[in-house]
Structure 1
């Protein structure tokens, strides 16, 4: 019987053919923690009486949510991870000196590659499936188990095949494709299933777009999102190798069989797709930009960044729209590059100057605004157009505030116009 790419990755790790619904224990190639979740993992690690880690070089801590610390509590919490990293001599520990949002930083550093099994105590760990890896979020206690044993348990998910037909229309990016998928199937439409993205449309997408696409698989309830590696993936990994001197391990490439079994096949003609705006209070509340314009939605804040859309291409898109323009006097535009390297590249290419001249505030890499922690909190009844991944009640601040999700171009033009607008016009 044919296998999906997800089943093949697990089969390779188990040294035998395995299929959906089987419960297996397998080795983990990379375990990821951050400044919020790692202290809980460390507590469980110590409670278990563990004295050593099974694979310290396969454990990565990225300080990205409240770094630099926003208050005494976050500073004390960060200290727990810092002390642990020093105690065990962790080589994959990233703090203020080399910071970045974890799901942008790890691919950049070559720490995750095709064919890996990856877990992280963050729901958007599914981002790394863009490289052709199995990558999923788990709890902090699950991380502790992997820290101690180097392994973890999985129920192999069924797969939904999402086929993107045609070439994406102008102004349509990976963010729009995943918002359309979620609009069609709902926030629980892929519950504990793999979203396998394929089709002609993928070939037109950059790695940045693919990371955005897989990043929000969890917003449809999926266990993981995954895209089979192609020449674009391999070129990205080649560039990563050249930038870092090596990769953590050699990539392994897997592809679904023609007779693989899927629980569902979803086909979307991306040539007919418009930019999508997801209305409060669910990512599934998507409307085309044409529909959104009818509502004349004035905004108080615009945000470009996060693990979904804080990459170099997002800053490029925004700077091209904002060049020679000024943001609306009633709008705050906050831009958060995904990593320090992205920030530096954007500066060298002139993007940062353009953003600053337009009136934007450019922050350090952080998850702060996206989760309503700091660096962009919304007040009562304020409205934000954002490139982030969630728009739940109170997600970015006050419970009466509203968050609308969109791509970087929509956010940039909206910041200029003072209302949700169409960048294609």
Structure 2
């Protein structure tokens, strides 16, 4: 039976020859991402059940993320609980304050993401890692607790939507504009509990940083996961970043795999986009925003805080003076040093 890349990865994780959309499965988890907001509640849930263990200390990646450095006493207490727990269980990949960063930039940078694996994290934008031909999705603290203890989690297999990105991006247009154009068309619930699979020649021109921007925002269309197939760009990035475990399995969608719909985009026609308040689906071409006043600019986030993003911004701003308050936040210490 023909399957999509998402279905193949989930079938492997569930120990099955095949799976179909809407099927309930129990899947083995390869990597769990933990940060300072959703992990402490998961720790409390485990403690209430007298569970003081983790399924595999080498398959968990921990980093303070949302509140680092701590903004107040409550956030400092979250850090302390996360720190105590990570040390008690001797978590191998623990990025303490000083080494911590935005989780969705940190994990790929530090070589924790591999094709063909199932990755979860207590954060909605965990779908970022699908750029590496992996199944990656965010979960709540309850599911996070269960996965930390058992290394397993149940899923309903998502049906897939194929997004064909044809053409080449025009000057001044980037992958963020592409995904904003996608969401502007389908809406914030246009891919509700679906797998958004991105294909097409426009992807070949994008770096891994650019691709991560696309999959990062799959959740903004309601998707269960976003995913991009493996190619030489993926391989080159992995060759440069993978450390402890360098082997992986590449899955590809079958030519006759079934999709509930196919969306075609000519990327040559996409203009620089602006997401107007208050939803990501409010994207419009920048030409429609001429003359609108701005109060503040922010360059960073888990979507666009990588070195490529900062260099693009620097190129645009070179020789100019910022006219409004402008905040720039490199996503990790490595990126900060590069910048």
TM-score band by shorter chain is over 0.9
Whole-angstrom CA distance in 2 between matches of 1:344 and 1:53: 33
The structural deviation recorded for 1:249 is 4.8
Equivalenced residue count is 338
Residue equivalent to 1:76: 77
1:319 and 2:331 correspond: no
Post-superposition offset of 1:324: 2.0
Cα 1:269–1:302 shift into 2, 3 Å: same
- Show structure 2 runs of 5+ residues with no match: none
In the other structure, the counterpart of 1:276 is 273
Q: C-alpha separation between the residues in 2 aligned to 1:342 and 1:77?
A: 25
RMSD of the alignment, in Å?
A: 1.0
SS in 2 for 1:96: coil
Counterpart position of 2:184: 183
> Which structure would you say has the larger RCO, counting Cα contacts within 8 Å and 6 or more residues apart?
2
2:7 and 2:296 mapped to 1: Cα distance?
43
Summarize deviations over 1:253-306 as a string: whole Å, max 9, x none: 11100100001100000011101101001100111111122xx11111100000
> With structure 1 as the length reference, what TM-score do the two structures score?
0.78
Is the contact made by 1:114 and 1:133 (CA closer than 8 Å) also made in structure 2?
A: yes
Alpha-carbon deviation of 1:248? 3.4
CA drift at 1:97: 2.1
Residues 194 and 226 in structure 1, CA contact (< 8 A), matched pair in contact too: yes
Trace 1:94-105 onto structure 2 (pairs within 5 A): 94-105=95-106
**Equivalences for residues 97-176 of structure 1 within 5 A:** 97-176=98-177
2:22 alignment partner in structure 1:
21
* Contact map agreement 1:112 1:248 (CA 8 A) in 2: no
Shift of 1:28: 0.2
Q: For residue 193 of structure 1, what is the aligned residue in structure 2?
A: 194
1:289-330 deviations in whole A, cap 9, x for unaligned?
A: 11122xx111111000001000111111111122222111xx
Q: Determine the C-alpha separation between the residues in 2 that align with 1:225 and 1:250.
A: 22
- Rounded Cα–Cα distance in structure 2 between residues aligned with 1:6 and 1:249: 21
The Cα shift of 1:121 comes to 0.7
User: 1:345-399: per-residue Cα shift (whole Å, max 9, x none)?
Assistant: 12xxxxxxxxxxxxxxxxxxxxxxxxxxxxxxxxxxxxxxxxxxxxxxxxxxxxx
Deviations 1:162-196 (A, max 9, x none): 00011111111110111011000000000000000
> Hey, what does 1:203 align to over in structure 2?
204
Distance across 2 between alignment mates of 1:106 and 1:128: 9
Q: Give the alignment partner of residue 309 of structure 1, picking from 304, 311, 315.
A: 304
SS of aligned partner of 2:254: coil
Tell me what 1:368 maps to: none
Match of 1:254 among 247, 251, 266: 251
Q: For residues 248 and 276 of structure 1, what CA distance do their matches in structure 2 show?
A: 39
- Looking at structure 2, the residues matched to 168 and 21 of structure 1 have their Cα atoms a distance apart, in angstroms, of 35
Where 1:251 maps in the other structure, the secondary structure is: coil
Distance 1:265 1:234, change over 3 A: same
Query: Could you state the TM-score of these two structures normalised by the residue count of structure 2?
Result: 0.98
Write out the 4+ residue segments of structure 1 that deviate beyond 4 Å after TM superposition: none
Residues 282 and 74 of structure 1, relative CA distance in 2, 3 Å threshold: same
Contact 1:163 1:265 in 2 (8 A): yes
Gaps in structure 1 of 5+ consecutive residues: 347-425
Is residue 240–residue 247 contact of structure 1 (8 Å, CA) maintained in 2?
A: no
**C-alpha displacement at 1:49, in angstroms?**
1.6
Quick one: which of 333, 336, 350 aligns to 2:329? 336
